Structure formats: structure tokens, C-alpha cells
Amino acid sequence: MTNDECKKVVLDIIADIAPDEDLSNVKSDVRLRDQLQLDSMDFLDIVMELRKRHGIEVPEADYMRLASLDSSAEYLVPKFNALAAKS
Amino acid sequence: MTLPRIVITGIGLTAPNGNSLAEFRGNLLAGIAGIEWLDVRYMGRLLAGVCHFDALKHQKKKEVRVGTRAGSISIWCAREAVADSGINFEAFPKDRVGIYIGCTEHGNVETENEIFAISKFNYDTKYWSHYHNPRTVANNPAGEASLNLGVTGPAYTIGAACAAGNLGLIHASQMLRLGEVDLALCGGVSESIHTFGIFAGFKSQGALATNDNPAKASRPFDKARNGIVVSEGGCLYTLERLDDALARGARIYGEIAGYGVNSDASDYVLPNPTRQAECVRRSIAHAGLEASDIHIVNTHATATPLGDIQECEAIRAVFGAGCPDTHINNTKSFIGHCMGAAGALELAGNIPSFTDLVVHPTINVDDLDPACALPGLVLNTPVRASRVDTILNNSFGMLGINSTLIVKRFVA
């Protein structure tokens, strides 16, 4: 999985959990909470949807790694690739 | 001690056959029911009363996603009632607003949804939603309304089975009289059709209506009645003390005249006509009226074979051989049983009678059960009354909770 593909996965989830938000200009290097109306429950939604849709676990200690699209991709791509290697 | 008079100044509703009082009332007078087929999880196609209001008129998409159906119904009704009241809500002190919403039950929908969702993950509870608790707390419908409207006064629900809609209004009247709040948003809501459990429960009880024609399915007092049509819905009112309403030049729909609330203390599900009659008598006495002063009796009757007869027995006990000016009707024949919303919605459907002097009928009575042949029963077509000064609204619920509310035409 590429970083861009991973960012799209995260953005697809955000599109569902924050349906009122305009996601066309989300900046990859800016914290998601600084550019979108997302609260702590929404971040739990992102974690839950990664688990449900993709089998990816994000331990609570790593939640901060999902702060921006860039940091999410940096953190999640190895997990996606490890999962793909298993299957 | 003279207690403040309490008046109705706004009505917001969603019913299976209307999303405003005008639309709802129009369909009640035109004989148009609102029952349709609904796919129910595990059970298939069943008859139900479904509301078709536009939740996004008053909520963001995210609010709808995070919240509950009961929350959406509450917000719709509260916002519509506030708009209808004409009050300057933006400027109104929000800590002086109370929200009192009657519910039959709350939380079953979300619990069923979550169990279904984790069934896809071998019942692993790590897939259980973190929204479960805020969605299922009993105060959820009122709490969601408080968030949406920015109300910082007391906002909570009143659990009273199918008597809850009346209880919302009664409790709000009491809080206004005590001076606890200056404006009350009150009534009842129900999201029941989104849980299979209520359908399955009534079916197991032998009390779920069946009919090939949805419009004919809910038929209180008819010989062929065979049970309840489960419906969703909501109706919230703005109530104010009369002096406040007059001071702002509010339109007044009617005045809370009196009420009665009691308990059967006799059975989990079977009604008790003796206690029902006591409740009705208590409400009439509380209003300072006689039975003959009541011009419309809106029955609770749900179209169960036994329950309808028992309510008729209670009404006979109070009204005797019939009071010449008393008309008796039923709204569930149009919209099914809206559970926690029933009392509040059914009252609303009758309130325009104060001004148009027309009494909406009980439809679907093709063959009147002699045991339900009450004098004054308005069957199948509306009737014009010589006067409508009072409406008595019955709502009874499981575990034997009875409520009767009387509203009178406003006379300064």
C-alpha cells in the first residue's frame, strides 16, 4: 500500500463519520482536528472503522499517530503491508 | 392558593400520516391512514406506522449519524413547536426552558443494532460501539434536543409506557406551576418500529395486528380487530403560564384543564377498567368539571380484542348511558400505536376541534363490536359538534400506568 492509498482509506472513513465536512482540501501535514470538526469520539470512530473494515488495530497509546493524514499514513502503511503479507 | 393557568402555545409533530398539525389534521378529517409495510430484522415484512419527516431540516448529517431516531424525532418536534409558538427563542433564557419527553422505552433499538453488528464479528465485543451508552441512556431523546436547541434548563424523559405522552404534558404543567421553568417543551416520542423486539413481543403475546391492507390494519372497536400496529412518531408542545403567553401576544391553542394519573397495581399487561375509570374521574374532578362537560373523549384503544372492551367499560362507568354533547373517537385507527408519542399526538389531532367544531372519526369500523358500542362514538366519517370546549385524552400503559389529560378551549 502506498502512502496516498492509505490516506484515501482514512479519508473514506472520515467522509462517513463526518458527513458534513468538505474533504476536498484536507492538508496532509496539518492536524485533522485543526481543519475539520472532529472530536474524541470521532477519532474512536476512525479506530473502530480501521478495525472493522481493514482488521487494523490501533492501540490507545498510538492514537496520537492518527493526528494528520501524513502521520496516519506513516503509522498505518506498515500495518497494512504486514497484514497483506500474512494473507 | 390559586395556581397559574397553563396554556398550549405551539405544536410540533411527526405522525405516520403528517409532519405538521395542518397535514395531520387534514388526513384525520379525510380518513387517510398512515400505515405501511416495513421490513423488520429477523421477522420480514410487517405493518407499521412510519414517519417521513426531513431530519436534516434541523440536524446536521453527523448529528443524525451519532444520535438516535428518538433523538431526531425529539429535535424535529421541538424545533417545529418552537417555530409554531412564535416565541423569540434566540433571545429566550435557555436556562429557563425545560424539556420533558415521555417515552415508552429507550435503548432497545441501539442495543439490538449493536448485537446484530457484533454478530458479524463472532460476537467479539471489541466491535461494540463507543456510542452505545450515550445513545441508550434513558434521557437520550431529551438530551439530544437540549444539545440541538442549546437548552440548559432541565431536560429529561419520563418513562410511562404508552401513557408517557400525556405524562410529558402533565409533568411540564407541574414544573411551570412550580415556577421551575418559564417555557416547557413537552409531550412524547417513539422510535419503536426500529426494534424487532416490540413486534416480536406483541406477536408472542397474540397482540400484533395483521391485515392484507395496511390502511385497514388498525381497527379499534371493530369486530375483526386483531391487535396493535406498532408506529413511530412524536409530538411536543410549547407550554407557558397564561400571563407569559398573553404578555407576548401568543396564539393559544388551549388550556390545560386537569389531569389524572394512577396505577392499576393488578397485572403486567392486562388493563384494569376500574382503575382506568378512577383515572378518568380524577381528571374530570381535577378540572372542576362534570362528565357531561366533556365534549370529546379520545380513547386509548389499541385494537386488541380485550383491551378495547375494557376501556369501553371504564368509559361507560364514567359517562353512563351517554352525555348528549360527548363525542368519542380514536386516532390509532389512522396512525397505529405511536407508543410514547401516542397521548401527545392523539391530543394534537383533536385540538383543532376547538375552532372548527369537527370531531375526527374512528375509521375502519366496518362491523362495530357490540361490546364497544359507546354512545357518541364517531364512526368512519367526521361529525360536526354543536360545541367543543373540552377534550379528554386517555393514554394507558403496561404495568398499569394510566393517564388522562383534559384540555379546554381557551377563554380569557
pLDDT digits (tens, 9 = 90+) for B276-307: 999 999 999 999 999 999 999 999 999 999 99
If phi > 0 it is left, if psi is from -120 to 50 it is alpha, else beta; for residue B323 that is beta
B61, A19: Cβ pair inside 8 Å? yes
Residues of chain B with confidence (pLDDT) below 50? none
Please report the pLDDT score of residue B317 as a whole number: 96
How confident is the model over B83-112, as pLDDT tens digits?
999 999 999 999 999 999 999 999 999 999
In a domain, A63, yes or no: yes
Residue tagged 502506498 (cell numbers): A2
Whether residue B345 contacts residue B168, with contact meaning beta carbons closer than 8 Å, is answered with no
Question: Which cell goes with B242?
Answer: 397564561
Burial string for B148-157 (b: 16+ CB within 10 Å, else e) reads bbebebbbbb
DSSP B202: H
Q: What is the CATH number of domain B6-247?
A: 3.40.47.10
**Residue A45: which CATH number?**
1.10.1200.10
Please indicate whether, in this complex, the C-beta atoms of B131 and A41 are within 8 angstroms of each other: yes
Q: Between chains, do A19 and B66 touch, taking CB under 8 Å as contact?
A: no
Residue A52 at interface with chain B, using a CB cutoff of 8 Å: yes
First to last CA, chain A: 14
Q: Are B350 and B394 in contact (CB under 8 A)?
A: no
* Residue A86, in any domain of the structure: no
How many Cα atoms within 13 Å fall on the side-chain side of residue B93? 7
B175 grid coordinates? 414544573
Question: By the CB < 8 Å criterion, does A18 face chain B?
Answer: yes
Tell the residue number behind the cell numbers 384494569, with chain if given.
B272
Q: Provide mean pLDDT across the span A37-63.
A: 96
For residue B64, the chain A residue with the least C-alpha distance is: A19
Phi, psi of B177 (to 5 degrees): -65, -35
Domain boundaries, chain B: 6-247, 258-408
Residue contact A51–B127, C-beta within 8 A:
yes
Q: Where are the alpha helices (DSSP H) in B287-376?
A: 305-319, 332-335, 342-350, 353-356
Contact indicator for B235, B187 with CB cutoff of 8 Å: yes
Distance CA B112, CA B127 (A): 14
Checking if the pLDDT of A27 tops 80, the result is yes
Q: What is the pTM of this model?
A: 0.97
Cell representation of residue B102: 415521555
CATH of segment(s) B258-408? 3.40.47.10
Query: Which of B62, B130, B131 is facing A19, going by the closest CB pair?
Result: B62
Q: Which residues of B are catalytic?
A: 162, 300, 337
**Contact across the interface for A20 and B65, Cβ inside 8 Å:** no
The answer, for A61 touching chain B at a CB cutoff of 8 Å, is no
> What is the 8-class DSSP label of residue B104?
S
Closest by Cβ to B61, choosing from A20, A48, A52:
A20
Please state, in angstroms and rounded to a whole number, the distance separating the CA atoms of residues B37 and B70: 20
Sign for the CA dihedral angle at B328, B333, B339, B343 comes to: negative
pLDDT value for B322:
72
Is B368 within 8 Å of B43 (Cβ atoms)? Answer: no
Check for a shared fold between B6-247 and B258-408: yes
Q: Which residues are registered as beta bridge partners of B228? A: B208
pLDDT of residue B405: 98
Q: How many domains does chain A have?
A: 1
For residue B298, list its beta bridge partners: B329, B393
